[in-house]
Chains A and B, each alone.
Chain A
């Protein structure tokens, strides 16, 4: 009657999400298992700190069952999942802002990192500084595009127009280039 685990492996995300929305716990479990790592990586991109990313992922996991109700078949599961993640990150930042620690995420990283390679270190520093200087909007957009999303998909996730995404990306690029130039000069 119920699809077996083997069959599940073949099932696409959208079928799984629909089954989960209808109350199938196994479907929900395998869907989340399938996407957890990618979700975590995305959370890291959004927050810039491992511990923040872990916490954000936890928030999302906790809220996801209730959010399932909002899942609509016509959306791709990844799109929907990223939308949930971006919203959760927003919520988190808003709460953080009240503690006046708005940019702590990428700052923490500086303290926490234990990278061995000197050269990587330098690159990471650059990444930290660069990401920190971008505003939240640009960072979110960049995080999506860096995850192989097209501008159209990113627009869908963020609920903005494709043109805005393209504009934000070019803004981000401009800023990154400026940062780079500044560094090269020093």
Chain B
């Protein structure tokens, strides 16, 4: 009996082929992709049971995963048929309420041509929107509204289809593309209509409420007619919210500064589309640090930045306090800055053909060009089907040459950026002379196929190049395909900043108003470490900075990379602390805890900062005790309001009854001078979020 089986077994063993190596690698990669996609969609694997929307989502994923190629093809073919109905201009005409006149980005050309672009100019743009479509048109803008719409929609389809995040079942690219589709086509149509109408309602709501010079609704006419793609393929870098820490157990909190602003712009872009942003898109520290603050600046012979610490009562909890830590970088005299070498590395793949992408990018770079000095140099490298250098290093004084090169950029073809990044670095290295700052500015809609396809190889490459003194900043354009996680990783490794440009006014903020901060680092690898005094503070919680957490021992390790501080930048970090004996304490004190050692000290904690002067390898230390002091000024109050807003969007578990009304009141009362209208805009966004969350 057993012999039969043994024979069969050895026969079977002989017959069993080795798995095909290529298929093996493919399948493993597929599994990993699906795994990552699942993690992304669920938030970072919280140990709660699959309930509510998360459970539903998992269900959909499971269903998609279980679908085999044939089933998937059948189901999705029908879906695509419906998709074409929605996405073709003809189909859309039937499904959409009448839309306002089509306005292409190029119409802004006429208004923005003026030598100085000020807030008034932006105000004028608003009026330009109301003007008939026959405004100034340029050679590139000779598209009829109908063609424009067609382009727009086809790229949307492509975006929605070319999904990494969605599970993929088959090697066939067609089926891969189709697998993305959500469950029921009818729902999708209904949703499109619903979201279109919501957006129209929202747009109508924004403009009249307050006479704001920067009312972004006016600057983004695209929102008014566009059927937004479900942001399925977007990947956001985030981690679970920082938990409450018990001082007796973990007295030390360590993190790197973060001066990126991408998260704020993504939040704004979502709200302006009439949707609450996905909570993983909200990085609270980036919301707070989006705004310029009027903190005390350092004296010239001091360290490059000055820390200011104040403590005050938490608005959302009467029994806790906020420790507000502000770093203000010095503003070196702009007049004697060293010449700049800029290499624009521009994604010109087909997906960039969208009014919110390449045309906006061209406009943005024009604005920036006005900020450069004659001795600065600019080079342009594009990556797409026709990868290569578009503009050899050219002095900024040759404005016409540069403008022509920018204008000649056209989106098309597949992304085949073999060596795009390497080429940009080699151009930058060729431009660098002693004492000059070189920086690559990568502009993309999320397609990071810049020659190195492996993400970790890419970040390693950039980290390696960072040592040569060439920095990398990333500008994100457009929604739908945005790979925020990769953007963050690249910019952090390249000692640069990541910004997301959704409107021309955002381009102005990033590339004009705050250009010197973005381009001239004054301190590198800035790390913050706070040790709380367990005799005074029972519990603490850092608001935001989840993706910037450092290990305690990394603070003194100069080999560990951290955030850069640019000229004139300010950085804010806020801790919510619970004093010993406060009724707000969430954890019970330990019965057998060792007696507090420095009971006599009235210090709340001790703040330590490390930074490196630009180009140096050894860090310097700044330290100062944190005392019960200060009280909130309008700057700290505004930062607090934004911190509260971020928590409302992300996870309001610590806020109690404190809601949008309170956040709006606090922010509105502390707008300060607000020369550029950023804070006014923030208040407006809070109001939008409030109405959307109801």
Residues of B within 8 A of A67 (CB): 62, 65
CA distance A22 to B1 in the complex (A): 45
Residues from chain B with Cβ under 8 Å of A21 in the complex: 45
Contacts of B65 in A (CB 8 A): 62-63, 65-67
Within 8 Å by CB of B8, from A32, A66, A176, lies A176
Measured CA separation A145–B12 after assembly (Å): 12
Chain A residue nearest in CB terms to B29: A61
Q: Does A129 contact B (CB under 8 A)?
A: no
CB closest chain-B residue, reference A28: B35
Tell me if B47 is interfacial: C-beta within 8 Å of chain A: yes
Min CB–CB distance B45 → chain A (angstroms):
3
Interface string of A23-46 (1 = CB under 8 A from B): 101001100110011001100110
* Cβ of A123 under 8 Å from chain B: yes
Partner of A54, one of B9, B19, B30, B31: B19
Is B24 touching A36 in the complex (CB atoms < 8 A)? yes
CB contacts between A and B, total, < 8 Å: 126
Contact A29 B28 (CB under 8 A): yes
The answer to whether the Cβ of B11 comes within 8 Å of any Cβ in the partner chain is: yes
Cross-chain contact A63 with B62 (CB below 8 angstroms) = yes
Asked whether A58 is an interface residue with its Cβ less than 8 Å from the other chain, the reply is yes
Known: A36-B19, A63-B66, A177-B4. A57 touches B27 (CB 8 A): yes
Q: Is the interface of A mostly helix, strand, loop or mixed?
A: helix
Expressed in whole angstroms, the minimum distance between the Cβ of B31 and any Cβ of chain A is 4
Chain A residues contacting B30 (CB-CB under 8 Å) are 58, 61-62
Whether the Cβ atoms of A146 and B58 lie closer than 8 Å is no
Stretch from B36-44, B186-194, B316-324 forming part of the interface with A: B36-44
Contacts of B9 in A (CB 8 A): 146
Which chain B positions have C-beta within 8 A of A68?
35
Decide: B66 and A91 in contact? CB cutoff 8 A: yes
A121-139 to B contact mask, C-beta < 8 Å, 1/0:
0011011001000000000
Contacts of B31 in A (CB 8 A): 28, 32, 61-62, 64-65
Asked if B32 and A25 sit within 8 Å, CB to CB, the answer is yes
The number of chain B residues with a CB under 8 A from chain A is: 46
Chain A: which residue is nearest B27 at the CB level? A61
Q: How far is the CA of A69 from the CA of B20 in the complex (A)?
A: 28
The contact of A95 among B5, B14, B15, B68, by CB within 8 Å, is B68
Which residues from B are CB-within-8-Å of A127?
8, 11-12, 15
Complex CA distance for A180 and B14, rounded to whole angstroms: 19
Q: A36-B19, A54-B20 are in contact. Are A29 and B68 (CB under 8 A)?
A: no
Q: Across the interface, do B169 and A40 meet the contact criterion of CB distance under 8 Å?
A: no
Do B5 and A146 touch across chains, with their CB atoms under 8 A apart? yes
Which residue of A20, A45, A62, A120 is within 8 Å of B12 (Cβ)?
A: A45
CA distance A120 to B74 in the complex (A): 41
Please tell me if B201 contacts chain A, counting CB pairs below 8 Å.
no
What residue of chain A has the Cβ atom nearest to residue B69's Cβ?
Answer: A55
Convert A164-175 into 0s and 1s, putting 1 for each residue whose CB lies closer than 8 angstroms to a CB of B. 000001000100
Q: Give, as a whole number of angstroms, the nearest-CB distance from B73 to chain A.
A: 12
Indicate if the CB atoms of B16 and A44 lie closer than 8 Å.
yes
Q: Does B404 contact A (CB under 8 A)?
A: no
User: Once the chains bind, are B4 and A59 in contact (CB under 8 Å)?
Assistant: no
Closest to A59 in B: B68
Are A69 and B58 closer than 8 Å at their CB atoms? yes
Chain B min CB distance to A173 (Å)? 5
Closest 10 pairs between A and B when the two form their complex, measured CB to CB: A23-B45, A65-B35, A61-B31, A63-B65, A40-B19, A61-B27, A66-B62, A65-B34, A62-B169, A65-B38
* Chain A residues engaging chain B, CB cutoff 8 angstroms: 1, 20-23, 25, 28-29, 32-33, 36-37, 40-41, 44-45, 50, 53-54, 57-59, 61-69, 91-92, 95, 120, 123-124, 126-127, 130, 142, 145-146, 169, 173, 176-177, 180
21 cross-chain CB contacts under 8 A: A23-B45, A25-B32, A33-B28, A37-B24, A53-B19, A54-B20, A54-B23, A57-B19, A57-B23, A61-B30, A61-B34, A63-B62, A65-B35, A66-B61, A67-B65, A124-B15, A130-B8, A142-B8, A169-B5, A173-B5, A177-B4
